[in-house]
């Protein structure tokens, strides 16, 4: 089974900062990687699939990159509404443990 890890587990950044979250797979998964955003008390929302394709309606400040085993989710300019936990997900429906993003 594929294992997904994420780093950091949490971060605090200022509004306008560039934020990067890393997801690593235990084996190569090509571009089979999705990112989800879950705001406090809300339902998860698909942000990115195929490692770098933005889901319709997602702000362009979000971007994804990577292939194989190492992937990143970048928020180019952090906004207050981006406070959430972010999860990666890949083959076998495996989710990463999540990265909690707060405003400093």
Partner 1 sequence: EVQLLESGGGLVQPGGSLRLSCAASGFTFSSYAMSWVRQAPGKGLEWVSAISGSGGSTYYADSVKGRFTISRDNSKNTLYLQMNSLRAEDTAVYYCARAFYYGSGKDAFDIWGQGTMVTVSS
- Under the criterion CB under 8 A, does residue 68 sit at the interface with partner 1? no
Binding residue for partner 1 (CB under 8 A) from 36, 37, 73, 75?
36
CA–CA–CA angle 39, 40, 44 (5° rounding): 45
Question: Any contact of residue 71 with partner 1 (CB under 8 A)?
Answer: no
Which residue's CB is nearer to partner 1, number 29 or number 78?
29
Shortest reach from residue 46's CB to partner 1, in Å: 5
Cβ neighbour number for residue 11 with a 10 Å cutoff: 17
Asked whether the beta carbons of 30 and 38 are under 8 A apart, the reply is no
Question: Which of 22, 38, 52, 63: binder of partner 1 (CB under 8 A)?
Answer: 38
Sign of CA dihedral 87, 39, 21, 55: positive
């Amino acid at each position: 089974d594929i294992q997904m890890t994420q780093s950091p587990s949490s971060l605090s950044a200022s509004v306008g900062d560039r934020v990067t979250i890393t997801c690593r797979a235990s084996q190569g998964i090509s571009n089979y990687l999705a990112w989800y955003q879950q705001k406090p008390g809300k339902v998860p929302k698909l942000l990115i699939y195929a490692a770098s394709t933005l889901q319709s309606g997602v702000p362009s400040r979000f971007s994804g990159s990577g292939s194989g085993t190492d992937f990143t989710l970048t928020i180019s300019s952090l906004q207050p509404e981006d406070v959430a936990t972010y999860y990666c997900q890949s083959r076998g429906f495996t989710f990463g443990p999540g990265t909690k993003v707060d405003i400093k």
